[in-house]
Structure 1
Amino acid sequence: MSIAENIHHFEAQLQGTNCRLVAVTKTHPVALLQEAYNAGARLFGENKVQEMAAKQPELPVDIEWHLIGHLQTNKVKYIAPFVHTIQSVDSVKLLQEIEKQGAKNGRLINCFFQFHIADEETKTGLSILEAEEILQSEAYRAMRHVRLTGVMGIATNTDDEAQLRREFQELRSYFEKLKASYFPDSEAFREISMGMSADYRLAIEEGSTLIRVGSAIFGHRNYATSAS
C-alpha cells in the first residue's frame, strides 16, 4: 500500500476513539513526509534533533512536531523555536533547559514525562516517584514556559500480549495518578502516548491517546542513507 493508503487505514481505525496518529518520520526523506502530509497527517514524530531541525523548514508550517527520542540538554535550543511537544522528558535538568529555551523564544513548550515501563534496561524513563519529585520541586513550580500535557512510554519489544497490556496499564495508572494529584483542573494534561506499529491495537484498548507509527506507514527504514 502507498503512504497515503496507510495513513487513511490508520485514520479509519482511529475513528470513534480518543486516539490520534503520530507519524514517526525518522530517517525518511522530506518527499515522503510531504506525501504523508498530503494524505492528512499533521503530527510528525522525530527521534533526532538534527533531523527534525533540518526537515522542519522544508515542510508546511502547520505540522505539529513531536520529539520522541532521547533529548540532550545542549540540543534543546535547536528545536525550541518550533517544536510542539517534547515527549521524552526524563529529568528536571532537561525540563529546566526547555524552560530556558522556551523563555528565549517567547514560547510555551508542551512536554510529556517519559516513564520506564519496559522490561528492558536499555529503555530510558522516569519512575513515578521521580516524576512526583520534579512536580513538587521549587524549580518546576517556577517554570512559565513549560506545560506538562501527558505521559509517554515505550513497551517491551515482545509478542507477549499479556505483558504489553500490563505495561500499558502501568503507564495509564501513572497518568491517572498525576492527573488526580497534580493536574485535576488542567484540560491540557490529557495525553497518554503509547503504542507503536507492532502493538498499537493493544495500546488503544488500554487508553492510548497518541500512537507512534513509523514502519507501518513508511515501510522499513534505511539507516544507511541520509534522511535530510
Structure 2
Amino acid sequence: MDIRLNLEEIKNNIEVHARKVNRNPDDILIMAVTKTVDVERIQEAIDNGITDIGENKVQELIDKYPALKDKVQFHFIGHLQTNKVKYIIDKVKMIHSLDSIHLAQEINKRAHSNNIVMDCLVEVNIGSEESKYGIDPLNVMDFIKSLESFDNIRIRGLMTVAPFMEPEQVRPYFKKMKELFDCAKSINQKNVDFKYLSMGMTNDYTVAVEEGSNIVRIGTGIFGKRLYNMEVK
C-alpha cells in the first residue's frame, strides 16, 4: 500500500470535484483517520503532506501522542465518553463529536481547568440512524443555543457520518448538512464561530466536496483496509 500514491490520487480527486463546483481545492483539509495505524505509517503520511490526523479511540490517541505531538495536529473524531475527556483535553486541536449537553459540560469544565478554549464540532445524525450518535437535525439550532454560557467551548461547525451507501445516494444527506451549516452559522452567539463542515469519508468524499465539505476524513483511502482479524493461512 503506497501512501504517497494514495494521497496523490485523493488530492487529484479533490481538485477535480472542487473545480467542478467552482471551489478552491486548497480550502479543503484532508484529515487522515489513523485508527489502528502505527506511528511509522502515520509519519509517512505526514512526510507526504498530512498536517492533521483524527483518532477514534482515546487510548490510541494517548499512545501515539508522544511520538507525533510536534509533527501533526491531533483531532478526536470518535464517540467521546465524559470520563475520558480529561485525558485528551490538552492534546487535541478540536473535538469533532460533541453530541450532548452532558459532554459539553465536561469539556467546558476540563478546558477551564486547563485554561484553554476547546474548539468543537457538533455531531449531527443526518440520516437519523439508530446505530449512530449525533444530534437530530431538527434539534441542532436549539442545541447550539443551549451552549451559550459555556465560555471554554467554541463551536466551529458541524460534523456527520453519512449513511453508508453509494456516493450519489448520499448526496441528499450532504446537501441537507450544508443547508443546516449555513443556517446554524448565522447564530449570533459569543462562542459560535463557524468555519468547518466535516463530512465525507473514503467512500463518498468526492460528493461531499461537491456539496460543501471542507474537512474530509479519510482512512482506508490513505492507509488501505484495516486487517482487524487476520486469518493464518
TM > 0.5: yes
Identity of counterpart residues, as a percentage?
38
Partner of 1:59: 68
User: 2:19 matched to which residue of 1?
Assistant: none
Q: In the alignment, does 2:182 pair up with 1:176?
A: yes
| 1:117 correspondence with 2:107 | no
Normalising by structure 1, we get a TM-score of 0.89
The 5 A counterparts of 1:4-153 are 4-15=4-15, 16-17=24-25, 18-118=27-127, 120-137=129-146, 140-153=147-160
Asked if the contact 1:46/1:67 (under 8 Å) is kept, the reply is yes
Contact 1:14/1:20 (<8 A) preserved: no
Aligned counterpart, 1:201: 206
* Structure 2 counterpart of 1:211: 216
Please tell me whether the aligned partners of residues 183 and 189 of structure 1 are also in contact (alpha carbons under 8 angstroms). Answer: no
Question: Separation in 1 of the partners of 2:73 and 2:99?
Answer: 21
1:5: Cα distance to partner?
Answer: 2.0
Shift of residue 64 of structure 1?
1.6
Change (3 A) 1:101 1:32: same
The answer (yes or no) to whether the contact 1:119–1:156 under 8 Å persists in 2 is: no
Report how far residue 23 of structure 1 moved.
0.4
| TM superposition shift of 1:222 | 2.2
Partner AA of 1:151 in structure 2: L
Partners of 2:142 and 2:71 lie apart in 1 by 35
- Do the aligned partners of 1:65 and 1:83 also contact (CA within 8 Å) in 2? yes
Read off the aligned partner of 1:145 and give its amino acid letter. Answer: N
Aligned counterparts of 1:197 and 1:158: Cα–Cα separation in 2: 12
How far residue 120 of structure 1 moved from its aligned partner, in angstroms, is 3.1
Check the 8 A contact 1:67/1:86 in 2, yes or no. yes
What are the Cα deviations for residues 137-184 of structure 1, in whole angstroms up to 9, with x where unaligned? 3xx2222211110100111111161x3111001111111111123469
Flag structure 2 segments of 5+ consecutive residues without an equivalent. 16-23
Displacement, 1:20?
A: 1.1
Q: Which runs of 5+ in 1 are unaligned?
A: none
After superposition, the Cα gap between the structure-2 partners of 1:160 and 1:19, relative to the gap in structure 1 and judged at 3 Å, is: closer
Q: 2:163 aligns with which of 134, 152, 156?
A: 156
TM-score, length basis structure 2: 0.88
Deviation at 1:185, TM superposition (A): 11
State the Cα RMSD in Å. 2.0
- The answer as to whether partners of 2:148 and 2:190 remain within 8 angstroms in 1 is no
Q: Secondary structure at the match of 1:14?
A: helix
The worse-fitting range, judged by mean Cα deviation, of 61-70 and 49-58 is: 61-70
For the residues of structure 2 that align with 1:224 and 1:107, how far apart are their CA atoms?
40
Equivalent residue of 2:194, what SS?
coil
Q: Distance in 2 between matches of 1:66 and 1:12?
A: 24
Q: How far did residue 134 of structure 1 move?
A: 2.8
